[in-house]
Amino acid sequence: MPQFTLEETRNATILTIGDWVITSTKRAILANAEIEAWEKELGLPLPEMTFGNNSLKLEHSSGTGLAFSAMEALRAVAVGEGWEERVGGGVLVSMAETWSKGR
Protein backbone atom coordinates (compact mmCIF):
# COMPACT_ATOMS: atom_id res chain seq x y z
CA MET A 1 0.00 0.00 0.00
CA PRO A 2 1.43 3.41 -0.95
CA GLN A 3 2.28 5.88 1.78
CA PHE A 4 -0.08 8.81 2.15
CA THR A 5 -0.84 11.79 4.35
CA LEU A 6 -4.23 13.27 5.08
CA GLU A 7 -4.75 16.83 6.23
CA GLU A 8 -8.16 18.21 7.08
CA THR A 9 -8.97 21.86 7.57
CA ARG A 10 -12.25 23.65 8.06
CA ASN A 11 -13.01 23.79 4.33
CA ALA A 12 -10.61 21.35 2.70
CA THR A 13 -9.33 17.81 2.76
CA ILE A 14 -5.84 17.31 1.32
CA LEU A 15 -4.65 13.82 0.47
CA THR A 16 -1.05 13.33 -0.63
CA ILE A 17 -0.11 10.00 -2.21
CA GLY A 18 3.39 9.79 -3.60
CA ASP A 19 3.80 12.59 -6.15
CA TRP A 20 0.07 13.40 -6.18
CA VAL A 21 -1.89 15.91 -4.10
CA ILE A 22 -5.69 15.69 -4.15
CA THR A 23 -7.55 18.64 -2.63
CA SER A 24 -11.29 18.63 -2.00
CA THR A 25 -12.75 21.99 -0.99
CA LYS A 26 -16.21 22.16 0.62
CA ARG A 27 -17.86 25.45 1.46
CA ALA A 28 -21.36 26.73 2.15
CA ILE A 29 -23.95 27.20 -0.58
CA LEU A 30 -23.82 30.41 -2.58
CA ALA A 31 -25.50 33.44 -1.03
CA ASN A 32 -28.39 35.06 -2.91
CA ALA A 33 -26.15 37.86 -4.23
CA GLU A 34 -23.64 35.28 -5.52
CA ILE A 35 -26.40 33.26 -7.22
CA GLU A 36 -27.73 36.41 -8.91
CA ALA A 37 -24.23 37.33 -10.14
CA TRP A 38 -23.62 33.80 -11.46
CA GLU A 39 -27.02 33.72 -13.19
CA LYS A 40 -26.26 37.04 -14.87
CA GLU A 41 -22.82 35.85 -16.03
CA LEU A 42 -23.99 32.41 -17.16
CA GLY A 43 -27.36 33.38 -18.60
CA LEU A 44 -29.18 30.52 -16.89
CA PRO A 45 -31.13 30.08 -13.65
CA LEU A 46 -29.46 28.22 -10.79
CA PRO A 47 -31.00 26.14 -8.02
CA GLU A 48 -31.40 27.92 -4.69
CA MET A 49 -28.87 25.55 -3.12
CA THR A 50 -25.82 25.76 -5.38
CA PHE A 51 -22.52 24.64 -3.87
CA GLY A 52 -20.57 26.91 -6.18
CA ASN A 53 -17.45 27.23 -4.06
CA ASN A 54 -16.74 23.50 -3.85
CA SER A 55 -13.89 22.15 -5.95
CA LEU A 56 -11.65 19.17 -6.59
CA LYS A 57 -8.00 19.45 -7.67
CA LEU A 58 -5.58 16.71 -8.62
CA GLU A 59 -1.98 17.91 -8.87
CA HIS A 60 1.22 16.03 -9.71
CA SER A 61 4.64 17.24 -8.57
CA SER A 62 5.59 17.60 -12.27
CA GLY A 63 3.07 20.45 -12.56
CA THR A 64 0.42 18.41 -14.37
CA GLY A 65 -3.03 18.53 -12.88
CA LEU A 66 -6.77 18.74 -13.22
CA ALA A 67 -9.22 21.06 -11.47
CA PHE A 68 -12.98 20.82 -11.31
CA SER A 69 -15.20 23.69 -10.19
CA ALA A 70 -18.91 24.45 -10.41
CA MET A 71 -18.47 27.69 -12.35
CA GLU A 72 -16.27 26.10 -15.01
CA ALA A 73 -18.73 23.23 -15.42
CA LEU A 74 -21.68 25.63 -15.70
CA ARG A 75 -19.86 27.73 -18.30
CA ALA A 76 -20.01 24.65 -20.57
CA VAL A 77 -23.83 24.46 -20.39
CA ALA A 78 -25.54 25.34 -23.68
CA VAL A 79 -28.06 28.15 -23.18
CA GLY A 80 -30.23 30.42 -25.28
CA GLU A 81 -32.44 29.86 -28.27
CA GLY A 82 -31.82 26.54 -30.00
CA TRP A 83 -29.61 25.02 -27.30
CA GLU A 84 -31.29 21.64 -27.76
CA GLU A 85 -30.16 21.46 -31.38
CA ARG A 86 -26.62 22.60 -30.56
CA VAL A 87 -26.09 19.77 -28.08
CA GLY A 88 -27.88 17.09 -30.08
CA GLY A 89 -31.00 17.02 -27.91
CA GLY A 90 -31.63 18.35 -24.46
CA VAL A 91 -31.07 16.40 -21.29
CA LEU A 92 -33.25 17.22 -18.30
CA VAL A 93 -33.18 15.71 -14.85
CA SER A 94 -36.43 14.35 -13.46
CA MET A 95 -37.23 17.46 -11.40
CA ALA A 96 -36.35 20.03 -14.10
CA GLU A 97 -39.93 20.74 -15.19
CA THR A 98 -41.22 21.13 -11.62
CA TRP A 99 -38.27 23.34 -10.70
CA SER A 100 -38.68 25.53 -13.80
CA LYS A 101 -42.35 26.19 -13.00
CA GLY A 102 -41.39 27.33 -9.50
CA ARG A 103 -38.87 29.87 -10.79
Q: Edge-to-edge strands of the sheet including 20-25? A: 4-8, 12-17, 20-25, 55-60, 65-69
pLDDT score, position 54? 94
Structure confidence by residue, pLDDT tens digits, 12-32 = 999 999 999 999 999 999 999
Consecutive H or E run containing 77: none
The chain-wide mean pLDDT, for the chain, equals 85
pLDDT at 88 over 70: no
Domain ranges of the chain: 4-102
pLDDT at 86 over 60: no
Number of Cα atoms under 13 Å in the Cβ half of residue 98: 3
Q: Give the global pTM.
A: 0.69
Give the mean pLDDT of 87-102.
65
Output the DSSP codes for 29-66: PPPHHHHHHHHHHHTS---SS--TT-EEEEEETTS-EE
